Amino acid sequence: MLDYYPHVLRDYREIKGIADGQQWLFERLWDAVGRVFGNQFVETMDDMGLERWERILGIRPKGTATLEERRFEVLLKLNQAQLPYTYRSLRRYLGSVSNDFETRLDNNAYYLWMRIRLEGYRQRDELADVLRQMLPANIVLFLRTEIPQRLEQPPLCIASGVTVVKRHRHKAASVQAYESGV
């Protein structure tokens, strides 16, 4: 704040005190402005912006949903509102969902083959719900989703154990005595 005062006033102790007292307020203001700006775009929304859009669109996120999963769901709902659905608009929509996809439409056989790469199983389920609403009822959809998996090496575990084996001797004489009733 002191930089915004005229050079003549910057050296006074009172002006420095006023500027220091106001500095935290303006820092909070700039953070709030940045947050509001970031919440204008789905890709940069934080929890506050997502809650607002979820309320508007009637989305009830699961308690375990991450911010990315919630953003994806909001994007799906926003893109879903663009009617009418054509093959070209379907491809445009899929391009907004994933960069790696391919489709083939057979008009004569009434089927659509689609391969798409997604981030997780929840996105796959949400995409399938949207496609159910977008595609005509007479089109058969063959959907292949590719979800990348991370393979991690398990941590090294050193274990030891002790096994106790008790040797049991069977006495044939006692068995014979039992059988004979002695």
Contact 94, 75 (CB under 8 A): no
Residue 19 and residue 5 in contact, taking contact as beta carbons nearer than 8 Å: yes
Check whether 92 has a pLDDT greater than 90: no
pTM: 0.46
Q: Over 80: is that where the pLDDT of 70 sits?
A: yes
pLDDT in tens, 134-182: 888 888 999 998 988 877 777 776 766 666 666 666 565 555 555 555 5
Query: Cα–Cα distance between 142 and 102 in angstroms, integer?
Result: 12
**Which amino acid, 59?**
I
Q: Which pLDDT value is given to residue 65?
A: 83
Section 108-115 average pLDDT: 91
DSSP readout, 54-101?
Answer: HHHHT----TT--HHHHHHHHHHHHHHT-PSP-HHHHHHHHHHH-SSE
Mean pLDDT to the nearest integer, 72-81 = 79
**Residue 87 — very low, low, confident or very high, per pLDDT cuts 50/70/90?**
confident
